[in-house]
Structure 1
């Protein structure tokens, strides 16, 4: 979820053109396999706790990889990075609460309402209005559920979409400052530390035995590495090869990737209406990304 705003986008010698979609899909598969592991953890650990484990593991992995202490930091840049991390962790909490109740592919598609809204914000072009209409129609089809649990899951997915929009807006400030992945590393680690008293305490109150099980920590590390560290690293390689405009176009592959992972790993078979909804969201992403590509050329 949401990595393009924090990765440096300078063009350098990179991947062969034919391999770029494959590498991007590999990152998406890693991200949603991590999410699938999170779903398995929900049997013993609260979704919010899984999101915290992801942030903590990802923060540690990114800090060790990026070694941000080598850069120059001010109080302001640390505060901005921390705010960025808190928004990111909040987005992940909402996302995990969603996939605890609705299929993975459905949650991912609904979540894209956020970036599409940001991409078309303030636009008066017919193409952008069409993109918004398509994603709203897709979300309507995906939200066509009846049970209270599923309805709450859709609500959390919509909250994740709103937080993703916030992630993009705050992340742009981070990217403009040139901090990129270093800020993400600092932000994730700081957010995990700041929110630990709340999220860890709530898990201890509900079921403290989960933290005594080594599998909780092992799978939590797996979620963090697969859902954050690996996709962010691969996204950096892709961005260096194709730039932001084409990267935005590749994002259209993610809802389908999530649906496939959900079907294979979690036996979540989408209905015909859900497949149409996912297709509409993907079309909206292609429209908004194509417009962005033209504006950058």
Structure 2
């Protein structure tokens, strides 16, 4: 479950343990999510999604500018169609998870969303033993839905849709990664995603999108949730087995719950923490049996 992007060599990270890079990337993603949710008080989720995708498209487009100049000439219609699908899935994934964030606690939303990559990992392994992890993850989701107070059903639905989007994004990301070098595919996907979200983001955000403070905060979400983790995690993958990387990434639901608690004051019940633990164990169990890395960015 890696994030496919070439890291700009702005600084050397070779002296930093790869596990520390992965954990820093996880914290960065969820810190960005925490800031995004705080922004919902002044900007609707669609506008925040637009700012996040626009930031990614702007920076990645600049870094991949040479390859983008000839992308139409150098790639087949099939490859370009895959890249467009990649971008549409990116927009869907971000749209759904931010809608979920606006309705249910951060840790709960991310835990449910993790069912997407878990499903892809289980299907790709084709081991009967992995049915155990599916059952454990399903138990976790049931506990989340029924424990610790009422959860917004629409928020749960959006988190499930985000998980579907993440799973599709993984599969499309593998194909796009083979057809486009370095960060080119992700740059195209971010641009397509920005164009898709542009009408909804402007319609919902209105004149608030012209506020310099909100613009800067929205762009900070893009940097924290996309650019920093992509860079750190790719560097880590160069120096650690993909299996270990996947196990570390399985900690993300717990980190999301902690960020929700510390930054947003979102208290979870013991039952909900147990549910998050079930999904984490399921993700770790499915990852341990993987021989090949599954490459794709997260929301």
TM-score (norm. length: structure 2): 0.87
Partner of 1:96 in structure 2? 98
Task: Tell me, yes or no, if structure 1 residue 257 matches structure 2 residue 255.
Answer: yes
Which of residues 170, 173, 176 in structure 1 aligns to 2:172? Answer: 170
**1:211-268 superposed Cα distances (whole Å, 9 cap, x missing partner):** 2322221111011111011111111111111143322222111111111111111111
Name the CA distance, whole Å, in 1 between partners of 2:5 and 2:238.
9
Name the CA distance, whole Å, in 2 between partners of 1:34 and 1:276.
25
Instruction: Give yes or no for contact 1:239–1:247 (8 Å, CA) kept in 2.
Output: yes
How do residues 279-294 of structure 1 correspond to structure 2 at under 5 angstroms?
Answer: 279-293=277-291
Say which SS state the counterpart of residue 118 (structure 2) adopts: helix
**1:83-104 superposed Cα distances (whole Å, 9 cap, x missing partner):** 2122112101100011111111
Which of residues 9, 23, 26 in structure 1 aligns to 2:21? Answer: 23
Which of residues 191, 194, 197 in structure 2 aligns to 1:192? Answer: 194
Partner of 2:297 in structure 1? none
Instruction: Give yes or no for contact 1:141–1:273 (8 Å, CA) kept in 2.
Output: yes
Shift of the 212–177 alpha-carbon distance from structure 1 to 2, 3 Å rule, reads closer
Task: Tell me, yes or no, if structure 1 residue 74 matches structure 2 residue 72.
Answer: no
Cα deviation for residue 178 of structure 1 reads 4.6
Instruction: Give yes or no for contact 1:20–1:238 (8 Å, CA) kept in 2.
Output: yes
Task: Tell me, yes or no, if structure 1 residue 41 matches structure 2 residue 39.
Answer: yes
Instruction: Give yes or no for contact 1:27–1:230 (8 Å, CA) kept in 2.
Output: yes
Which of residues 143, 146, 151 in structure 2 aligns to 1:144? Answer: 146
Cα deviation for residue 295 of structure 1 reads 10
Deviation beyond 6 Å, 4+ runs, structure 1 = none
Name the CA distance, whole Å, in 2 between partners of 1:66 and 1:243.
27
Partner of 1:121 in structure 2? 123
Partner of 1:225 in structure 2? 223
Structure 1 residue runs of 5 or longer lacking an equivalent are none
Instruction: Give yes or no for contact 1:245–1:292 (8 Å, CA) kept in 2.
Output: yes
Name the CA distance, whole Å, in 1 between partners of 2:241 and 2:177.
14
**1:36-90 superposed Cα distances (whole Å, 9 cap, x missing partner):** 1111111121112211111011111222234343775425333322221221121
Cα deviation for residue 278 of structure 1 reads 0.8
Say which SS state the counterpart of residue 45 (structure 1) adopts: coil
Instruction: Give yes or no for contact 1:127–1:288 (8 Å, CA) kept in 2.
Output: no
Cα deviation for residue 7 of structure 1 reads 4.2
Alignment RMSD (CA, Å): 2.5
How do residues 42-61 of structure 1 correspond to structure 2 at under 5 angstroms?
Answer: 42-61=40-59
TM-score (norm. length: structure 1): 0.87
Shift of the 280–212 alpha-carbon distance from structure 1 to 2, 3 Å rule, reads same
Structure 2 residue runs of 5 or longer lacking an equivalent are 295-299
